[in-house]
């Protein structure tokens, strides 16, 4: 499968998806640590992709997303942004609202299916 197709599939199949360096419990950079803390603080389940273990995704996602840096947060198939944006949204209470609404929408869609 083409790497762009893989990226599209990951984004489509995960309501909340964090592309980061390392894992939420063992981040490999300060920005990824800050991002993981913000997302975990929202209290919903989320998926993550360790781009250090996936060099093809690391090389191709910035072009696909039109966003040059990592981490990247995707919610409901839309790019939210990077570490600073996540931190600002979390501090303002906006990130929790966005993630909870997306999770509720995904759960409702599953029960309808």
Section 103-112 average pLDDT: 88
102 vs 64: CA distance, rounded Å: 22
Query: Residues 65-106: pLDDT tens digits?
Result: 999 999 999 999 999 999 999 999 999 999 999 999 999 999
Note the CATH number of domain 3-112.
3.40.30.10
Kindly report the average pLDDT of the chain as a whole number. Answer: 95
Domain ranges of the chain: 3-112
* pTM assigned to the model: 0.95
Where b means 16+ CB within 10 Å and e means fewer, 25-57 reads eebeeebbbbbbebbeebebebebbbbeebeeb
């Amino acid at each position: 499968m083409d790497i762009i197709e893989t990226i599209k599939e990951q984004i489509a199949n995960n309501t909340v998806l964090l592309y980061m360096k390392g894992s939420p419990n063992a981040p490999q950079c300060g920005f990824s640590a800050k991002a993981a803390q913000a997302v975990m603080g929202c209290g919903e389940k989320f998926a993550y992709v360790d781009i250090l273990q996936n060099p093809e995704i690391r090389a191709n996602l910035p072009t696909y997303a039109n966003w040059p840096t990592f981490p990247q947060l995707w919610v409901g198939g839309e790019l939210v942004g990077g570490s600073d944006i996540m931190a600002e949204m979390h501090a303002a209470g906006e990130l929790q609202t966005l993630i909870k609404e997306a999770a509720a929408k995904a759960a409702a869609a599953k029960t309808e299916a």
